Every structure is written in structure tokens, then in C-alpha cells.
Amino acid sequence: MTATVNKNGLLAGKVAVITGASRGIGEAIALRYAQEGAKVVVSARTVEEGDHMLPGSINGVVKRINAAGGQAVAVRADLASHDDREQLIKAAEDAFGPVDILVNNAAITYFIPVDDFPEKRFKLMMEVQVYGPFHLAQLVLPKMRERKSGWILNISSHAALHPKLNAAGRGGTVYGMCKAALERFTTGLAAEAASDGIGVNVISPGLIATPGVLHHHLINESNKDMAVPVENMAEACLHLVHGDPAKNSGAITYADVVLREQKLTPAELIA
């Protein structure tokens, strides 16, 4: 059965901004939200195919959504740039109106041991993965509070969990720090925004063979059987941005947990 857009779906009429959406998890979330009727703002630095060494582009994702009968626009944004973050939200509002859903998925990652980690790269990772989501939330929260409605979803990683002392490391300490900070930000903001009907959640995907994961050689012979389809993550991320925020907020969760607890079957994505 071919995947289609349901304009009267779970997210009908909602405006969703997804960062890091040129490929991988962000792309899948953008497609899934569009299939449920959301007006999607697809953002990343890669505008056209070939602009990056990895496959995928925001224009390509937008073309797929619009060709299927959905509504989407592409907005280039470097999440390390304060001005780009402001321009992203302005462009979203100009295109579709106030943002109902913000998905902070963009990431930049370097796997380098602490001893050798350059200050410049440390600050860049913190800017993109911690302050960037914080700032974007600040930009959308006022209008969400005015409407007493909104959702913010942050994308984390199992790297946020504390490693065992005897676990062999591969330079992921800074990445884990960023994701742990993102998780604490999520629960704090969920508590602050609860009285205004705003849901805030954070989710980790598990092991998915995205272009970025393959680039960093994170799948190998020992763990390849644990890899799951990107559709699993997209479906779980859909669940975390609709419903009653009084019951569906403040979660630090995982895609497999959401699918199991909610008895969800991942939908096919737009081809």
C-alpha cells in the first residue's frame, strides 16, 4: 500500500518545524508529520542534493511531501547561528503561521577523546545540540503560551546514559554531555510550560542505519542485529506531539518503548 497524505489526519492544520531534516531521522519525522496533515517546515544546511557528502537535501524532502499532496517549505538554517535560528522561525511563521510543533533534531558530532577534544568543536557541539534547541524554544514559546497549545520534541540518544566504568569508549563523552543536558532541559521546560497546555518530550531512537550513523561506523558486526527501521522512530515521534499534554509531556523515552506501550504499528513513509 502506497503511503499518502491525510489532510484530516492527527496533525491537520498544525505547523511543524523540524531541524536536521535533510536526511535520516529528521527527514522521516517530516514525512510522517506531513502524512498526518501538518504543514511542515523542513530545515537543515543541505539545500540541494550534492551540497553535502551524505545523501539527502531539504529541497528533496519538500518535493516528496508536496508531490504527495502535502504542504512543506524548505528553510536553510545553520543551527550554530543565532541569526539563522531567528530567521528559521520567522520564515516558518511567514509561510504558515505560528509554530505548533518544534522538533529539535539537528546535531553535529565529533568522536574525540576528552584529552584531545578541541575547544572550537566542543563549543560548536554545545551550540548546535544544547543552546540551539533552547533558543528555538524561546522563539516559539510566547505564541504557544498565547494559544495555550504547542509541542516541543527534542531528539536525544542512548549516549546520554552514564557509561559503565569498564566500557570501551570511542570519544563520545561530549556527545553524551550534550544529550544529557538536552534531556534535563526537556523535563525542566515541561514543568514550566505545563500550565499553558504545552507538551515537551525527549526521545532516543535506538540504532538506525541513517547516513550519519553509517558515516560514523556506529553499526558493526556486534550490533547490526539491533538496528531498526527509521519508520519506528517517526511513528514514536508522532505520538509525542499530539493528544493531551497533561498526560503526554515530560517524558524521557525511547522509540521502542513508545511503540510497545502505545501498541503502535509504524506507517510506511512517502516514497
> pLDDT at position 169, please?
64
Cβ contacts of 258-266, under 8 Å, gap ≥ 24: 258/203, 259/232, 259/235, 264/235, 264/236, 264/239, 265/235, 266/229, 266/231, 266/232, 266/234, 266/235
> What b-and-e string marks burial along 178-210, b requiring 16 or more CB atoms within 10 Å of the CB?
bbbbbbebbbebbeebeeebbbbbbbbbbebeb
- Domains parsed from the chain with CATH numbers: 15-262 (3.40.50.720)
> pLDDT at position 11, please?
98
Alpha helices in 118-270 (DSSP H): 119-126, 132-147, 173-193, 211-215, 230-239, 255-262
Residue of 33, 131, 175, 254 with catalytic role: 175
CA distance 228 to 236: 13
Quote the cell numbers at residue 57: 537535501
> pLDDT at position 210, please?
62
Report the DSSP beta bridge partners of residue 152.
102, 200
Measured from the Cβ of residue 146, the count of other Cβ atoms closer than 10 Å reads: 11
> pLDDT at position 164, please?
86
> pLDDT at position 167, please?
67
The tens place of each residue's pLDDT in the chain, 271 residues long, gives 678 999 999 999 999 999 999 999 999 999 999 999 999 999 999 999 877 778 889 999 999 999 999 999 999 999 999 999 999 999 999 999 999 999 999 999 999 999 999 999 999 999 999 999 999 999 999 999 999 999 999 999 999 999 888 766 678 999 999 999 999 999 999 999 999 999 999 999 977 766 555 545 565 555 555 667 899 999 999 999 999 999 999 999 999 999 999 999 999 999 8
Quote the cell numbers at residue 258: 513508545
Write phi, then psi, for 76 (nearest 5 degrees).
Answer: -70, 135
97's CB contacts (< 8 A; 6+ apart) are 15
179 and 159 in contact (C-beta within 8 Å)?
yes
H or E element that contains 150: strand 150-155
CA distance 80 to 209: 25
Q: What 3-state class would DSSP assign to 231?
A: helix
Is 254 marked active-site?
no
115's CB contacts (< 8 A; 6+ apart) are none
Residue 209 CA from chain centroid, whole number: 16
Q: What 3-state class would DSSP assign to 218?
A: coil
